[in-house]
Amino acid sequence: MITDEEKEKDVPFDPLDMQNYRVEKLKKAEKKGFERWMVFLGGPLAIIAFIYFYYFADYSFLNTINPEILKDDSLKRFNELGMERFSRINYAMLGIFAASIILWITETVPNYLTSLLVVIAMVLTGVTSEKVAYAQLGHPVMWLNILSFVLASMLVTTKAAKRFALWFVIRFGKNATWIFFSFIVINVVLSVFISATTAKATILLPIFMVIAAIYGATSDKRNNFGRNIVLQNLFQINIGASGFITGSGANLLAGSLIAGAMGMTLFGFQDWFFAAFPLCIILILTGWFVGTKIIFPMKPEERMPQIEGGMQRLKEEYLKLGKMTVNEYKSIAIFLVVLGLWATDKQHGISQTAVAFLGAVVALLPGIGVVKWNDVDIPWHLMLFSAGAYTLGAGLEATALPANMVDAAFTHFGITKSTPFWVLYLGLTFTMLFSGILFQSKTMRALIFVPISIGVAQKFGYPVMSLAFPVALLIEHVYVLPFNSKPSALLYTTNHYSMTDSFKFGFTMMVISWLMIILWGETMLRWLGYTVNGVF
């Protein structure tokens, strides 16, 4: 009996067949060299880090901390437990934090399993109560995450997202330049609702791979059109997400941490959008110019279709979808209503979570809705990962560890309150941005650097938003190397570019992005009242 795989081997590869670019058909990147050593050593290093910080680290620096810098709940625990016990809780938190970061970076165990270990470790060491630790799965932002996946599944299941992407490329992709601009629009629109950047990459990959083939770029024959179309999409998938607080789970986590520090439940959609969206568009357009005009300029022949009738194949794929169904119209209507309510949250006062709740209920209603529960694709491993991250955030807040560490470190190095704001701003944004080259998780970077920026702001008496928000705007810069994010790893398997190509474009855009966030602090963030007196 001939298997499907054997049948496929006998069929010549058709570069214009979108089925050839399904994610499951792409080669899986194997961990080699240093990455394999990271996996092997991650577990032992995490255990050693926890044991060291919990049992052997010097507690003396905690004795210098002024209890007034602790938050109300932390100060209450400080008074109830006394210095010695409170010190051990702080160091338990520090040990758990260090161990979890090591496990998340090295991926010795799946990220969701690390999160489960974080939750139980914080309970057993007394950092926080079972009620607080377990309740993070019911955090309003967790619900917003889950409901966003329901709404995203609505667009994917009804094929409205695919239809929109194909239609836009066919309608406006008349030449190489307009093809790139078409994907800019597509990525930005999808970023509003699809908070998983990997999901966006999965939807768009077959489309831009076929277009790459039309313009003569294949995995065996690279050209600058192919390099640009894949790297531009990688950049747009990530940076498009930065324009909206709902663009990724890491944005939601950062917003939650900032809101918590300011005594709010959720960060406003408008507050994020007005500051972040213009910056997102400027960076995407700059990325297009830098990539297509400077780093990978295309020869005249690379800007011309190499396969006759190539766009016709995309039209055929579009025609296979048939006429728009009632469910597609419904899904688009729900999409627009939810987006409209999100964009006007300050006017009507309904939170993003409540709006997403209403949208998801309507989408799932029998007879009225457009999607069934079994069709909803919720990545529960990511939900557990997020729950662990929120639990870690709750522990950091309960122990005021970021503020304590910042206070101790600055005291040790003699950094006083006379340090100019611009030094703090440049240092924090630089560290946050370029850490994206080394780290493998946006959520982890948000969990490390947003609390630190909050602690620094509190230490120096600046508004939390003045330092924490600019840092949060840099979360999505994870596109330099293949291991920096899941979309990076996925698109690297297309073999349209080398690691050197990725680094040249990605690092250049990181430098430009850092200069832009400095300019943004002096202009837009200053006008909006976040950096009250600008950066300098």
| Rounded Cα–Cα distance for residues 241 and 485 (Å) | 13
pLDDT at 24 > cutoff 70: no
Tell me the chain's radius of gyration from C-alpha atoms.
Answer: 24
Q: How far is CA 129 from CA 93, 300, 391, in A?
A: 13, 65, 11
Higher pLDDT, 285 or 367: 285
pLDDT at 67 > cutoff 80: no
- pLDDT tens-digit readout, 323-339: 889 988 998 898 889 88
| Rounded Cα–Cα distance for residues 266 and 69 (Å) | 23
- pLDDT tens-digit readout, 243-292: 999 888 889 889 888 888 887 767 888 889 999 999 999 999 999 999 99
pLDDT at 226 > cutoff 70: yes
Please report the pLDDT score of residue 80 as a whole number: 53
Please report the pLDDT score of residue 36 as a whole number: 79
Mean pLDDT of the chain, nearest integer = 82
pLDDT at 83 > cutoff 60: no
Given pLDDT bands bounded at 50, 70 and 90, which one contains residue 1? very low
Buried-state track 176-196, b at ≥16 Cβ within 10 A, e below 16: beebbebbbbbbbbbbbbbbb
423: phi > 0 → left, psi -120 to 50 → alpha, else beta; which?
Answer: alpha
Please report the pLDDT score of residue 160 as a whole number: 85
pTM equals: 0.80
Please report the pLDDT score of residue 209 as a whole number: 85
Q: Which residues contact 353 (CB under 8 A, 6 or more apart)?
A: 140, 141, 143, 144, 147, 266
Please report the pLDDT score of residue 2 as a whole number: 46
Neighbours of 502 (CB within 10 A): 22
pLDDT at 242 > cutoff 90: yes
pLDDT at 521 > cutoff 90: yes
